[in-house]
A = this chain, B = another copy of it.
Amino acid sequence: MPGPLTLGQIVQRLGGRVAGDPQILVHQVASLEGAQAQHISFFTGSRYRAQLGATRAGAVVLGPEAENETGLPRIVAENPYAYFARVSQLFNPLVRQEPGVHASAVVAKSAQLGASVSIGAGCVVGEGAFIGEGSTLYPRVVVYAGCTIGARAIVHAGVVIGADGFGIAEEHGRWVKIPQIGAVRIGDDVEIGANTTIDRGAIDDTLIEEGVKLDNQIQVGHNVRIGAHTAMAGCVGVAGSATIGAHCQIGGGAIVLGHLTLADRVIISAASVVTRSILKPGQYSGVFPIDDNAAWEKNAATLRQLHGLRERLRALEKKTP
C-alpha cells in the first residue's frame, strides 16, 4: 500500500481545498462508522449526519454546502463522492491480476489479445475473439468466438459473452433454432460483474458502448444496444433488441422488455418492469408496495376488481348532482 498523505498533498493531486489543518496525515479511507484517526472518510448528505457527528475519522471529504457540519479537518470538493473515489484510488491503486494468460486458460489460436491483457485461470477465449489492451478477465470468463472487448475492460468471474441468443421460431408445435450469426462488441472502459451473460446477436451484433458498467448476474439478450456510460445494477434483465440510451441508470432487478427504446438519461427504479419505450429523460418506477402480508392480501384481492370499482365510481358520480 502507498504511504500516508497529508490533506494538503491530496488536494495538490486531486483539487478541492482543505478546511482545517492541511498537515493532518491519513493512511487509508474508511466509512464514517469504521474510521479511526488515521483514516479519511466522506459525507454525502444529511442522512448520514449522526454518523458524521460520531465519527472518529481523522478527516472527512464533503461538499461546500456541508462545510460547516463538522469541525474535523476536511477537504471540500464539489462532488464529494467522486472525490472520495479518487482518494481511495490514491491509497488503493488497482491491484490487477497478473498480466498474461494463466496456464489453465484456453485461448484459441486465432484470438487476439492486446498489450498487457490479463486472462485468469480457467478462462476460455474463442476463435477470432479480440480482447483490448489492458483488459482483465478474472477466472472462468468465457468469450465465445468472434466477440470483441475494448481496452481496459474489467470482466469478473463467471461472465459469459457471446452465447447464442434465444432465437427460436415455432413450427407445428416445435421450436426451430434461428442461427445466431451476430457477435458481441464491447467498447472501452467497460466493467462487467460476476456471472453476467451477454448474448451474441441473431443477425447483427449486440453492442455495449464505452464506459458501460454492468453489475453481477445481468442478462443482456441478443441485439441489445446499451449506450455509453449507462450503469445497471445487479440482476437486471434486458430482452432481445432493446435499445438503451447513454447515461441511463437501471436499478437492480429491473426487467426491460424486448424491441423497445429508452432515451438517454433515463433512470429506472429497482425491480421495475419496462413494458413500453421511454422517450423522455427522467425517473420511472413500477413496483408493488410491500406491506404486511394480511394488508397485502386484502389490497391485492381488491386490485383484481379495480376496473370494476372505477365503473362503480362513475355510476355513482352520474347519480350524484
Chain A interface (Cβ < 8 Å from any Cβ of B): 29-31, 34, 79, 81-82, 84-86, 88-89, 91-94, 102, 104, 106, 120-122, 124, 138-140, 142, 144, 154, 156-158, 160, 163-164, 166-171, 173-179, 181, 191, 193-195, 197, 199, 203-204, 211, 213, 215-217, 219, 221, 229, 231, 233-235, 237, 239, 247, 252-253, 255, 257, 268-276, 278, 282-293, 295-307, 309-310, 312-313, 316-317, 319-321
Contact = CB atoms under 8 A, between A and B. Distances in A.
Given A157-B163, A203-B30, A204-B31, A306 B312 contact: no
B179 A199 contact: no
Contacts of A284: 290-293, 296
Contacts of A139: 106, 124, 142
User: Which of A30, A88, A289 lies at the interface centre, i.e. has the most chain B CB atoms within 10 A of its CB?
Assistant: A289
A287 to B, nearest CB: 5
A122 B106 contact: yes
Contacts of A82: 169-171, 176
A106 B104 contact: yes
Contacts of A312: 313, 317
Given A171-B82, A216-B199, A252-B255, A299 B290 contact: no
A316 to B, nearest CB: 6
A144 to B, nearest CB: 7
Contacts of A168: 85, 191, 213, 231
A285 B235 CA distance: 20
A285 B293 contact: yes
13 contacts: A30-B203, A85-B176, A89-B176, A92-B179, A92-B181, A94-B177, A106-B121, A124-B157, A221-B252, A275-B290, A285-B292, A302-B307, A305-B310
A156 B163 contact: yes
A75 B286 CA distance: 43
Given A160-B158, A290-B274, A292-B282, A237 B239 contact: no
User: Which of A84, A174, A217, A271 lies at the interface centre, i.e. has the most chain B CB atoms within 10 A of its CB?
Assistant: A271
B304 A289 contact: yes
B298 A307 contact: yes
A111 to B, nearest CB: 13
A244 to B, nearest CB: 14
Contact of A290 (B31, B253, B273): B273
Contact of A304 (B86, B104, B274, B291): B291
B290 A288 contact: no
A290 B307 contact: no
User: Which of A170, A221, A285 lies at the interface centre, i.e. has the most chain B CB atoms within 10 A of its CB?
Assistant: A285
Contacts of A298: 306-307
A222 B7 CA distance: 28
A30 B179 CA distance: 12
A102 to B, nearest CB: 7
Nearest to A127: B95
A215 B163 CA distance: 10
